[in-house]
Amino acid sequence: MSSSSTTLNSQELPWVEKHRPILIKDITGNEETVSRLQVIAQDGNMPNLIIAGPPGIGKTTSIMCLAHELLGDAAKDAVLELNASDDRGIDVVRNRIKMFAQTKITLPAGRHKIIILDEADSMTAGAQQALRRTMELYSNTTRFALACNISNKIIEPIQSRCAILRYNKLDDKQILKRLLEICEMENVKYNAEGLEAIIFTSEGDMRQAINNLQSTWSGFQFVNAENVFKICDQPNPVVIQKVIEYILKSNVDGAMDGITVLFDQGYSPMDIIGTLFKVIKYSNGIPEYLRLEFIKEIGITHVKVLDGCQSLLQLQGLVARLCRLIFPPEKFKNII
């Protein structure tokens, strides 16, 4: 393959893959947990691992970086990765995983073959039961690394055989730092409001943030708030912020009009409620006690929408209840 075609392929890669960290020290966020992986990489004696946490925060990347630092070039032959997209029933554990564990591969002293089971919490119960014995039988030559969203879905016998590392969502500063690095490498034109909008839509998910950045840049060649919300197709938080301002002034009509505009634009009540929750959660102009009451009312409406009551009336009822929290009925008596 010519060098020009190789360059073309690298350009066509999604930025999530193109800028995926190779070394553990390059991983963004969860510094305390990542530092434990660095110690494992230096010592070389890797235990069986379970890495649990929300999607898009670097679980699989961490395991791949660890395998790369432990095994180097031998990682091509000494690492088996199985994703949730693969069939991972009991037959796969009995055949494919067992055969790989039995395969003899020349490795540096003190190193082991690594089997990576991504989205391990989606494995069947039978497969997990079969895996527990396999982990013990081949512990001299093979180590297992399981990535999952919810560690409780992994059966306890496997949990007891593994060191469990927990990852948290990334904070805004960590995502911003990585986005700025990618913008510089890809020569992306942006403004501060655009990056703020990407961070708002990603909700601590680095994969989502990078994908939104690439999509906005590909679609508009400039990253600003308006373009980001067009690409992500989420209700504009500026409109939601105005609705909240009306609510804080007990202006029911103004708040109703704002919600109706979003509903008429085709956004589902679920999207509107989700954005309303996020804006209230991070808004500085709302007293803490009032924020908690707002979130309670939003939660009640969320349950009703999940039950199938996805109408404008539900959203208007929510706005009315939020306004009543600002201006409760007792105050009306004094006016009357």
Over residues 72-86, the pLDDT tens digits come to 888 888 999 988 767
Residue in the structure block whose two tokens are 């392929």: 9
Query: Quick one: pLDDT at residue 10?
Result: 47
Domain extent at residue 200: 172-232
> Alpha carbon 258 to chain centroid distance?
30
DSSP 120-173: GGGS-HHHHHHHHHHHHHTTTTEEEEEEES-GGGS-HHHHHTSEEEE--PPPHH
Tokens of 317: 């009822």
Q: Give the residue from 5, 31, 334 showing the smallest Cα distance to 177.
A: 31
Where among 140, 166, 192 does a domain terminate? 166
Q: The domain spanning residue 288 has which CATH number?
A: 1.20.272.10
CA angle 230, 191, 194 (to 5 degrees): 30
Evaluate if residue 303 carries a pLDDT over 70. Answer: yes
Mean pLDDT of 11-22: 88
Which residues is 52 bridged to in the sheet?
A: 148, 166
Residue 335 pLDDT level (bands cut at 50, 70, 90): very low
Where among 199, 232, 265 does a domain terminate? 232
Where among 232, 257, 281 does a domain terminate? 232
149 and 210 fall within a common domain = no
97 and 17 fall within a common domain = yes
Tell me the per-residue pLDDT of 236-281, one tens digit each, with 9 for 90 and over: 888 999 999 999 988 889 999 999 999 998 888 998 999 999 899 8
30 and 158 fall within a common domain = yes
User: Cβ atoms within 10 A of the Cβ of 56, count?
Assistant: 21
Residue 329 pLDDT level (bands cut at 50, 70, 90): low
Give the chain's domain count: 3
> Alpha carbon 214 to chain centroid distance?
17
252 and 319 fall within a common domain = yes
296 and 191 fall within a common domain = no
Q: The domain spanning residue 145 has which CATH number?
A: 3.40.50.300
297 and 224 fall within a common domain = no
User: Cβ atoms within 10 A of the Cβ of 99, count?
Assistant: 10
294 and 317 fall within a common domain = yes
> Per the confidence metrics, is the pTM higher than 0.75?
yes
Q: How far apart are CA 84 and CA 307, in angstroms?
A: 29
How, if at all, do strands 163-166 and 142-148 pair?
unpaired
> Alpha carbon 106 to chain centroid distance?
37
Query: Quick one: pLDDT at residue 105?
Result: 87
Share of the chain above pLDDT 90, in %: 57
Q: Please compute Rg for the chain using Cα positions.
A: 25
Q: How far apart are CA 23 and CA 8, in angstroms?
A: 24
228 and 241 fall within a common domain = no
Mean pLDDT of 10-31: 87
133 and 268 fall within a common domain = no
91 and 201 fall within a common domain = no
217 and 197 fall within a common domain = yes
How far is residue 10 from each of residues 6, 18, 23, 188, 214, measured CA to CA in Å? 6, 7, 19, 17, 14
Evaluate if residue 330 carries a pLDDT over 90. Answer: no
Residue 286 pLDDT level (bands cut at 50, 70, 90): confident
How far is residue 23 from each of residues 42, 56, 62, 66, 231, measured CA to CA in Å? 12, 17, 8, 8, 32
Mean pLDDT of 317-321: 92
More confident of the two residues 326 and 189: 189
216 and 162 fall within a common domain = no
